[in-house]
Amino acid sequence: MPNIPKHIAIIMDGNGRWAATNGLPRAEGHRRGAERIEAIIEACKNRGIKYITLYAFSEENWMRPGVEVIALMHLLRHFLVSKRQGMVERGVRFRAIGDIARLPSELQQDIKETERMTASCRDITMVVALSYGGRHEICRACNSLLAKGVKDATPELFAAELDTNGMPDPDLLIRTSGEYRISNFLLWQLAYAELYFTETLWPDFDDKALDLAIESYATRERRFGMISEQVVAQGEE
């Protein structure tokens, strides 16, 4: 397929509505949502995508009912512990972004261990945003530059302080479940991303749904502020 994005970011929305539609508890919606992840990572890898960033838990999600927060933390731990060996075997490097220090200490340990185990995997990088908020990430980056005494910040210096340091910006953002918002996700990094929204609920998001998003991306002309002729000329260089 031509014009494959290098980095896809996904807001995995609709687990709760999927559960309600199927007469199941919300936690079951999250469990089914987590089950989709492995297949989508594999599908991305097979299509040549090198990075996938998943919004798994926002800093605003701490405000959800305690039982749901606990269920999500358990699910995340279970996911990491049960999937990390498979990640190593399939060349999936794991990385977490967000305010990791706010997570339960056992989950922090699981994250560290999964990052360590998968550090040399090179086929695809799976980034999971946990306790993540774009505005706070930007504030952390500002504070870090101030602490270093930087007086003249540039986009490059700033990006190096973000949690996503060293990664390319997402080319394509997918949000499932028919919501048309960014919800404090990767505010800096999405500056030039193509946006794709689908009605499909995350637990129903499969390879076919992924291909529709990639096909839509392939039809977009990314001008980065230039005019069409310049973009065409650049492609011919």
Please tell me whether residue 69 binds ligand FPP under the rule CB under 6 A. Answer: no
Please tell me whether residue 110 binds ligand FPP under the rule CB under 6 A. Answer: no
Please tell me whether residue 12 binds ligand FPP under the rule CB under 6 A. Answer: yes
Please tell me whether residue 76 binds ligand FPP under the rule CB under 6 A. Answer: yes
The residue type at 159: A
**Residue 157: CB minimum distance to ligand FPP, A:** 31
> In the bound complex, which residue of the shown chain has the CB atom lying closest to ligand FPP?
16
**Residue 37: CB minimum distance to ligand FPP, A:** 6
- Residue closer to ligand FPP, measured from CB, 58 or 189: 58
Site string for ligand FPP, 171-210 (x = CB under 6 A): ------x------------------------x--------
- Residue closer to ligand FPP, measured from CB, 33 or 134: 33
Q: Residue 13 catalytic?
A: yes
Q: Residue 184 catalytic?
A: no
3-state SS, one letter per residue, for the chain: CCCCCCEEEEECCCHHHHHHHCCCCHHHHHHHHHHHHHHHHHHHHHCCCCEEEEEEEEHHHHHCCHHHHHHHHHHHHHHHHHHHHHHHHHCEEEEEECCHHHCCHHHHHHHHHHHHHHCCCCCEEEEEEEEECHHHHHHHHHHHHHHCCCCCCCHHHHHCCCCCCCCCCCCEEEECCCCCCCCCCCCCCCCCCEEEECCCCHHHCCHHHHHHHHHHHHHCCCCCCCCHHHHHHHHHC
**Residue 161: CB minimum distance to ligand FPP, A:** 25
- Residue closer to ligand FPP, measured from CB, 80 or 141: 80
**Residue 61: CB minimum distance to ligand FPP, A:** 5
Please tell me whether residue 98 binds ligand FPP under the rule CB under 6 A. Answer: no
Catalytic residues, which ones?
Answer: 13, 61
